[in-house]
Amino acid sequence: MTIPLPGVPEQYQGGWQRTLYAEPNTPPYRVTDTTTQVVWLQGQQWHADLRIPADAPDFSGIQTLEACSRPQLEWLASLTAFAGLTQIEGGVCTWHRFQDLCPSLEKDVGLLRWLDDITLEERHPHGQYVEHWQRFANDVIQEVVQDEHGQLRWQQIGNHAIAITPRPASNTSELFSSISTATDETLRWRASLRFDYLQRSSQGGWQIELSTQPWRKGQYVK
């Protein structure tokens, strides 16, 4: 897959965790979120990002999407997780999302500036929100795996990685239907796009630390 986009500047590459989300982009804030677990891995071109809110339902005893209740399916299908190509020009960052668990029609653009050596501020161009990102990994060892269609399946920065399992082919217009009125079957299909955030263990394998299918947390994969 040939992409006519420049590489992401080295200072933005690495592993990032979000420490603040707030609305609007200047105090006094009406909304703040410091509890959602957010991981963004940024490579030379590709990005992968997943976000797990703290208000997760109880998934005790659940091992598959088929076993999930209606409230669990609605929560899973509403999660934010996406991957694609990143374009940064003059502090304006555009995340071109090629895979998106819960897509919207709004373009993903942020204005970036450094707060210190490891903290990046992202502001919505129209002032709707501000996010603070802190770098936790900046490793020169990067690995990207794409499938036969050119879609991202593995984004690795040192000992951190995000693995992506695609949805089965279906009617993509169903991605934009209301979650509250979608059938259980549609919600299972929407939630079948899986993002796993993994860390390399001391034994050399990979352990899932976060997942858009939460029952997978703690599992080891090769």
pLDDT digits (tens, 9 = 90+) for 137-185: 988 778 999 999 899 999 999 999 999 999 998 878 888 889 999 999 9
Q: Which domain holds residue 21?
A: 15-221
**CATH number of the domain enclosing 217:** 2.40.128.280
Q: Angle at Cα 45 formed by Cα 43 and Cα 47, nearest 5°? A: 60
10 in a domain, yes or no?
Answer: no
pLDDT digits (tens, 9 = 90+) for 18-61: 999 999 999 999 999 999 999 999 999 999 999 999 999 999 99
81 in a domain, yes or no?
Answer: yes
172 in Cβ contact with 193 (< 8 Å): no
105 in a domain, yes or no?
Answer: yes
CB count, 10 Å around CB of 129? 18
β-pairing, 109-114 vs 152-157, is unpaired
Count how many domains the chain has: 1
212 in a domain, yes or no?
Answer: yes
154 in a domain, yes or no?
Answer: yes
Categorise residue 129: left if φ over 0, alpha if ψ from -120 to 50, beta otherwise. Answer: beta
pLDDT digits (tens, 9 = 90+) for 195-219: 999 999 887 799 999 999 999 999 9
Beginning with the edge strand found earlier in the chain, give each strand of the sheet holding 220-221 in spatial order: 142-146, 152-157, 160-165, 194-200, 206-211, 220-221
User: What is the Cα gyration radius of the chain?
Assistant: 17
